[in-house]
Structure 1
């Protein structure tokens, strides 16, 4: 891997390790939020009881742990770049009493598995953070058995994801942030129509399909929204760390005003939109 891509990978690893305590704290909220996307991934993979499945960029363990409960005679290998995220995943595994899983900290662009190892691969909201998305897709194709299935979820366009734009928009309006490099990792990097499908095709996958999936971030209160986003969203925290006291207060005030305008009854349930892309080897 090129040195610049290695730097991106190392930054990602450091960031996700740093924010693992926040993800553990808010795991119930965000797993409920992301569940429709995980369920669509699971449904599209048509899992068999004996399947051996690879879950990439699993974070705190989903959808890999749910998949493990469905492939009772098979197993799931749960991976993530950040070891500290997998610590939380292991705790969730113990709490749920699931035993047909193993955990491997690794880079998707250099998967430590032999060719033709897995019946299926799942990856929920990982692709937009991979330094080299085509290399990642090729690695996924390499470790899939012939006829194996892969499904991944990525975020749709900003206009359909107020849960991100409410806070990031306020930050952008009030701070001079450096423009991201073209193709740099980011929440909406994979929202372009046909992008992941084309990458799958270039990686040698076939029978590719794309489905839009809706979700709801059920914060209930604007305070919960603010607290959760400022404890798990790395770009948010990185930007706010650079704001002075007055700037921070102004951004927070704007976010609260925006969210309260959208949910005047005080019941903050923010819609989201994602794309689930499926392919076969």
Structure 2
């Protein structure tokens, strides 16, 4: 699986839940945070047929691919910017809706980042995002970690770098969003599997590309990396079904609204 196709395939069931919650209207102007290759931005643009959609991401290659796909698919009311939503100087009050598919968990300063997003929304503008619930509720994370730890001991699976579960705790997220200028924060449980590929080889290639997996494998000597890879392969084989390699997962759809105009600081 290529990066864009793989990520979109992995989260296709989560996409359906996000679309329902977003409820993009024909005249909406939509901001897609951490848009990757732009699948969510393009469907938002199609729904906002008399409006527009802007996708932003910190990955220049992802933005380049997003632009290519939009051209290929003939989506005209969509644009993409290589930008960090934490700091980008969006026009105040430009958007009706901000969406994100697992693109908001890695902010360095979550309050400042969400405040920047709030300023980009009009009064009563909406935020709708999917984030992972706690790691212990996500089978995929637990299975990967157990495989790596079994290969080299607990240190191999130790957490490090960006935290994909930083927005898992509802009270913390509610406090963060309120401090950033949002109100009416609500959480909806999303219990859907993630898809890692049609067979074990594709799934192994996909999982080895995860930042957490790659970091561990890079720390190991060649023999240790081989053992870890074999552990991962056996674990993925245990999750292979007739329709591919799947893992249980739990996510939140978090919704909130802005209540007052936000001017640049």
Please classify the TM superposition score into its range, dividing by the shorter chain length. 0.7 to 0.9
Q: Which runs of 5+ in 1 are unaligned?
A: 1-21
1-structure distance, mates of 2:241, 2:20: 36
> What's the CA shift for 1:223?
1.9
The answer to whether the aligner puts 1:245 opposite 2:245 as a matched pair is no
Once the two structures are superposed, what CA deviation does each residue of 1:220-261 show, in whole Å capped at 9, x if it has no partner? 322221111113x12211221221121112112222333334
Residue 83 (1) aligns with residue 54 (2) = no
**1:224 corresponding residue in structure 2:** 202
* Structure 1 residue corresponding to 2:232, chosen from 255, 258, 272: 255
| Greater CA drift, 165-174 or 44-53 | 165-174
In the TM superposition, what are the counterparts of 1:13-92 in structure 2 within 5 Å?
25-92=2-69
Cα-to-partner distance string for 1:141-176 (whole Å, 9 max, x where unaligned): 111101111111111122332223322332244153
Does the alignment pair 1:117 with 2:107?
Answer: no
Aligned partners of 1:156 and 1:73: how far apart in 2?
A: 35
Written as runs of structure 1 = structure 2, the 5 A alignment for 1:176-191 is 176-177=155-156, 185-191=162-168
Flag structure 2 segments of 5+ consecutive residues without an equivalent.
259-265
Q: Is the partner of 1:110 in helix, strand or coil?
A: coil
Task: Report whether the alignment pairs 1:108 with 2:99.
Answer: no
Large movers: runs of 4+ above 4 Å: 177-181, 262-267
Of 188-197 and 149-158, more deviation after overlay is shown by 188-197
- Assess, with a 3 A threshold, how the Cα gap between structure 1 residues 266 and 78 changes in structure 2: closer, same or farther: closer
Q: TM-score, normalised by structure 2?
A: 0.87
TM-score normalised over the length of structure 1: 0.82
Question: In the superposition, relative to structure 1, how do residues 239 and 29 fare at CA in structure 2: closer, same or farther (>3 Å)?
Answer: same
In the alignment, which residue of structure 2 is the partner of 1:5? none
Q: Which structure has more helix as a fraction of its residues?
A: 1
The residue aligned with 2:261 is none
* Alpha-carbon spacing, 1:264–1:242, altered in 2? closer, same or farther (3 Å): same
